[in-house]
Structure 1
Amino acid sequence: MTSTIRTRTALASLAAAALLALSACGGGSGSDGSDAGDDASSSASPSADASGGPSLDGIPDVVAEVNGEEVTRDEFVPIYQAGFKAAESQAQMTGEEPDEDALRKQALDDLVDTELLSQEADSRGIEVSDEDVDAELTELAEQNGMKTSDELLEAVAAQGLDEEQARDQVETQVMVEQLVADENGPIEPTDKELRAIYDQAKAQQAQSGQEGQDFPPFAEVRDQIVDQAVAEETGKVAQAMLEKLKADADITLNL
């Protein structure tokens, strides 16, 4: 079983654009929205700007309003650029150019979802401390075979998000976890559930024609499977909360 940079937040769209896979290709990008990286791949899409990143034309100062709260261009651009960079890396393997319209929509949807959950957390008195963020960064580093959180932040920076932006994203995922725990209680998968996930992964490997390859024993990957199970259930609860929140929300999209 393999893993890239993993986040426990199972509302994957919130974190996917922020904590990019270490396996992604290419260098860093700016965080001020003025460019998308000096080291971007030469295989950028035709609609990309001159620096090799996505086009930032037509992005307004306020990309959305959620219950009267503004979601700004400065919040949107780094997430959009990071998502584009990940898609660009994927394109090098698939040959499919990044779909900028789809990536813009995904980034905007992610930010609106984040704002809705953040407002709900505020209404419940949920606060994430710097210590919470530090602890999560350390755990994420360990999960991904790194010695320190600084090493993780350097890897993320190489993919286009500076330390402040990365910490903001980790704060979001901790907030989502705490909000889900407040809504649903602690998530504790059973051994039966973990075994089912393990058996499914093993069967998928066999079906993909890799049956002869070594598959790690259950005990060796149990902790990783727990993370996956908790993430999946967290995502289900968070998505259900979002559906309820959106039904009552006043949302204006400007992009």
Structure 2
Amino acid sequence: MTLNKKWLLSLLLVGFVLLLAACNNDDEAGEDNGNGEGEEAKQEETEGGEGEGGEQAEQPEMPEPDLEGIPDVVAEVNGEEIAKDEFEQTYEGQFQQMAMQSQMSGQEVDQDQLKQQVAESLVGQELLIQEANNQGIEASQEEMDELLDELAQQQQLESKDEFLAALEEQGMSEDEVMSQVETQVKVNQLIASETGDTEASEEEMEEMYEQMKAQQEEMGGEQEVPSYDELKPDLEEQIKSQKESEQTQQLVDQLREDGDVTVNL
């Protein structure tokens, strides 16, 4: 689980996206075009479970998160505790996302590995927050509003007010969200000041493009890969994101080496 500038809010957004998707699915299931056909079609898919040729289509069961034996204090970071409640909330959000992926891939979720990843990510989060506070970094209202607008856009919502309202419907007050946004902005500033060059060179983008083409050929896909010029903005963004994530992880590793961290899992 790689750390990056948007990591602090990513877990919040995972839960938000999943809940929003569930609400949308419920709405779609309730639509029946005024004659009940939508509901009947839904029942045929879920109850009948028949695919092409009349064969029974088996839907794999959604696995459950295993939270047995989680200690009250999952980790300690320079005297600050990461509590069981925080870990479980974070783990459940990540597990839901992984479980949905596993249903598509057929590969079982390795919960022991995921628990370690979540614990390490929470430790990394706490180290970055502590360092931002130690350096006295401040978050302006303008920066917080800018981040909220960006997050709203990512979730295809029209405004930050709509984003805040949607989160409030899921049980998060505006004060809670703004507190997290403020922390995120501070961490963004810390990472920007501590990391080096993240620009993507022409050579790096061309190399990534050739790798994509080679992978497409290996997979035997008939779909033609778009031209280099078409994909260049996406390649640039991907390389910059990779570099930023790697440098952020290096910063976390250094902070951990200099700090006092205990993980109790």
Compute the displacement of 1:67 (Å). 0.5
Contact 2:5 2:188 in 1 (8 A): no
Paired residue for 1:27, among 22, 25, 48?
A: 22
Match status 1:235 vs 2:245 = yes
Take 1:203 and 1:240, find their aligned partners in 2: how far apart are those partners? 30
Matches within 5 A, 1:76-91: 76-91=87-102
Match status 1:43 vs 2:91 = no
Compute the displacement of 1:213 (Å). 0.8
Contact 1:14 1:110 in 2 (8 A): no
Q: Secondary structure at the match of 2:100?
A: helix
Take 2:77 and 2:235, find their aligned partners in 1: how far apart are those partners? 35
Matches within 5 A, 1:45-124: 45=63, 48=64, 54-124=65-135
Matches within 5 A, 1:139-178: 139-142=150-153, 147-149=158-160, 174-178=185-189
Take 2:205 and 2:255, find their aligned partners in 1: how far apart are those partners? 31
> What runs of 5+ residues in structure 1 fail to find an aligned partner?
1-7, 29-40, 49-53
Contact 1:12 1:235 in 2 (8 A): no
What's the C-alpha RMSD, in Å, of the aligned pairs?
3.9
Take 1:91 and 1:134, find their aligned partners in 2: how far apart are those partners? 36
Most deviating of 116-125 and 217-226: 217-226
Q: TM-score, normalised by structure 1?
A: 0.69
Shift of the 132–43 alpha-carbon distance from structure 1 to 2, 3 Å rule, reads farther
Shift of the 60–233 alpha-carbon distance from structure 1 to 2, 3 Å rule, reads same
Take 1:132 and 1:125, find their aligned partners in 2: how far apart are those partners? 16
Q: How many residues align?
A: 227
Q: Secondary structure at the match of 2:68?
A: coil
Most deviating of 121-130 and 101-110: 121-130
Q: Secondary structure at the match of 2:76?
A: strand
Shift of the 205–229 alpha-carbon distance from structure 1 to 2, 3 Å rule, reads same
Contact 1:64 1:112 in 2 (8 A): yes
Residue 183 of structure 1 aligns with an amino acid whose one-letter code is: E
Q: Which structure has the larger Rg over C-alpha atoms?
A: 2
Match status 1:198 vs 2:198 = no
Residue 74 of structure 2 aligns with an amino acid whose one-letter code is: V
Residue of structure 1 equivalent to 2:198: 187
Contact 1:59 1:73 in 2 (8 A): yes
Contact 2:3 2:121 in 1 (8 A): no
> What runs of 5+ residues in structure 2 fail to find an aligned partner?
24-58
Compute the displacement of 1:181 (Å). 1.8
Shift of the 9–67 alpha-carbon distance from structure 1 to 2, 3 Å rule, reads closer
Summarize deviations over 1:54-73 as a string: whole Å, max 9, x none: 23333333221100111122
Q: TM-score, normalised by structure 2?
A: 0.67
Take 1:225 and 1:144, find their aligned partners in 2: how far apart are those partners? 22
Summarize deviations over 1:202-248 as a string: whole Å, max 9, x none: 332222222x3133344444333332122111112112112222212
Match status 1:249 vs 2:244 = no
Compute the displacement of 1:135 (Å). 1.9
Contact 1:62 1:72 in 2 (8 A): yes
Take 1:171 and 1:14, find their aligned partners in 2: how far apart are those partners? 11
> Taking every aligned residue pair, what percent have the same amino acid on both sides?
38
Contact 2:195 2:244 in 1 (8 A): no
Shift of the 128–61 alpha-carbon distance from structure 1 to 2, 3 Å rule, reads farther
Take 1:113 and 1:95, find their aligned partners in 2: how far apart are those partners? 30
Contact 2:196 2:247 in 1 (8 A): no
Residue of structure 2 equivalent to 1:215: 225
Contact 2:152 2:160 in 1 (8 A): yes
Contact 1:26 1:89 in 2 (8 A): no
